[in-house]
Structure 1
Amino acid sequence: MIQPAQLSRAAGTLGLTDRPVMLHASLRSFAAPLNGGAHALLEALLARGCTVMVPAFTGHHFGVPPPPGMRPARNGVDYAALPDGEPGGSDGPVYDAGCGLVNPSMGVLPATLIGRPDAVRGRHPLNSFAAAGPQAAGLIATQSPADVYGPIRELAGREGAILLIGTGLDRMTALHLAEQRAGRRLFLRWARGDDGRVSMVEVGSCSAGFPRLEPVLGPFARTATVGASSWRAYPAKEVIDAATRAIAADQGITHCPDRGCLACRDSIAGGPVGPHM
């Protein structure tokens, strides 16, 4: 069984003490029971003085179909394939940071963090971030429906780190900020505002091709092992800057293995054209 002391030692080895950390973790990667589960992992980092930030996305719960007047071209969406329905109708939920929901695919860690009484969560209706720890409020305050990756910019500005526990670069959400800085417009999706009206908000693209950035980003990683789980910690600012340069030099570098991927095609071409937010 993996004990909390092992988690704390690994965090110290990676130089994470007293730093804000964006965490992506697979508990299955330990290949052994983790004493205390996701809660123990969060507590081990918080006890080191870390502020822990995670993606806590809710597109599954709060996304709505696009109204006809809000359908920009080159947006990673085949509008002709959308199901019939009443796009942009008056029914449907409005996101609230206290909703307690995350997409089922996000895993147990974000669900555990947002359940904490000290958790702070962003206002983006589809791609919110959540954090706990001494710098949580400052990180999350930078996010709004019109600025999805504000918390990642803030993380980098505070000399924060990105920690991958048993996961690959395809889970590194911060690389979407690098795409944006490299000249791509973020994709636009649809959600209801506080007034119940449908509006467009920015979201990221396909991330399945991000492992192709490994030769560029690998040298920045500090590594540790806990049980069977491989931990990799990256300095956020340096990694985002390096990825931005690599993407700007070769937009095709992030294309996923599916050569017909619509999201990759449209993102690499520059992202949406047409109606803006």
Structure 2
Amino acid sequence: MVHASLRSFGEPVEGGADAILDALLSRGCTVLVPSFTEPQFGVAPPDTMRLSRNGIDYTTLPEVTVSPETPAYYTVDCGVINSGMGVLPTRLIARREATRGRHPLNSFAALGPQAAELVAAQSPADVYGPVRTLAERNGAVLLLGVGLNRMTALHLAEQQSGRRLPIRWARHADGRVYMVETGSCSEGFPRLEPWLRPLARTARVGASQWRAYPAKEALAAAVDAMTADQSMTRCSNSQCLACHDSVAGGPIGPIRLG
């Protein structure tokens, strides 16, 4: 699973993100990336789906605006991705051989020999299935010039530590709105660094600092840290509702996903 910042190299990368993808694929790797689409396919929640302690202030919901070019609902072949995900995921989903998950807001996409098996583990009711499968298969998480606040796998550790994941809303093809699991604030994840540091293999490529973590062991270490102190992942913004509600345990009430 790769998170990358091409800017971190300090100079242009010959071949760009495609060169990084090709290098990993040439080693026989399967490359897994987040390919989220929450701004494009998220919808406002109906009154009957507004859970409490859900990391959101329902009185200040942002107005949802949909671009005329965006489809009415998510499909695995829509080609849409949040530009904030970075260049590498954008280039990956553009490849004909890419496989993409069925989650309408937080999909994962993959290329390589085990792509289908990793992505098949995801559903609207199991957003981090691909991360769990990656760990079960002794995969790795690569941070190429980015920090732990970009390590999406740690959201699965939040769930495994006993938290319920935040709920957001998307639209079915028939127009119905439904609930899906998503991730919470990740800006406090760098506070887990002392627990993950012993597991990291590091390298410098140009000006870019690279770190590789064994997914299974990194998740276990993060779960141990959060279980011992749930406030461990709270970000520096004392007013962050997402962190407050997540640390408290996540949404309250019955949740019917999908």
TM range, normalised to the smaller chain?
Answer: over 0.9
1:84 deviation in Å? 6.7
The CA deviation string for residues 191-235 of structure 1, in whole angstroms up to 9 with x for no partner, is 012332100000010000000000000110001111111110000
Q: Where does 1:163-202 land on structure 2 (aligned, <5 Å)?
A: 163-202=142-181
Q: Select which of 111, 128, 141 maps to 2:107.
A: 128
Is the CA contact (8 Å cut-off) linking 1:71 and 1:275 kept in structure 2?
no
Query: Any unmatched runs of 5+ in structure 2?
Result: 65-70
Instruction: Give the TM-score of the pair, scaled to structure 1.
Output: 0.89
Structure 1 position 104 matched with structure 2 position 83: yes
- Which 4+ runs in 1 deviate beyond 4 A? none
The residue type equivalent to 1:37 in the other structure is G
Q: Where does 1:3-22 land on structure 2 (aligned, <5 Å)?
A: 22=1
Structure 1 position 28 matched with structure 2 position 10: no
The residue type equivalent to 1:221 in the other structure is A
Distance 1:75 1:143 in 2: 22
Q: Which residue of 2 aligns with 1:82?
A: 61
Distance 2:63 2:210 in 1: 45
SS in 2 for 1:245: helix
The CA deviation string for residues 20-71 of structure 1, in whole angstroms up to 9 with x for no partner, is xx00000000001101000000000000111000000000110000000000
The CA deviation string for residues 139-187 of structure 1, in whole angstroms up to 9 with x for no partner, is 0011011110000000001110000000000000000000000000000
Q: Where does 1:1-277 land on structure 2 (aligned, <5 Å)?
A: 22-83=1-62, 93-277=72-256
SS in 2 for 1:69: helix
Is the CA contact (8 Å cut-off) linking 1:178 and 1:244 kept in structure 2?
yes
Query: Any unmatched runs of 5+ in structure 1?
Result: 1-21, 86-91
SS in 2 for 1:233: strand
Structure 1 vs Structure 2 CA RMSD: 1.3
Distance 1:97 1:73 in 2: 31
Aligned pairs, number? 251
SS in 2 for 1:100: coil
Distance 2:158 2:75 in 1: 28
Distance 1:52 1:72 in 2: 35
* Aligned residues with identical type, % of pairs: 66
Change (3 A) 1:204 1:139: same
The residue type equivalent to 1:223 in the other structure is T
Distance 1:232 1:25 in 2: 11
The residue type equivalent to 2:101 in the other structure is G
Distance 1:83 1:35 in 2: 40
The CA deviation string for residues 97-144 of structure 1, in whole angstroms up to 9 with x for no partner, is 101111121111111000011100000000000000001001001101
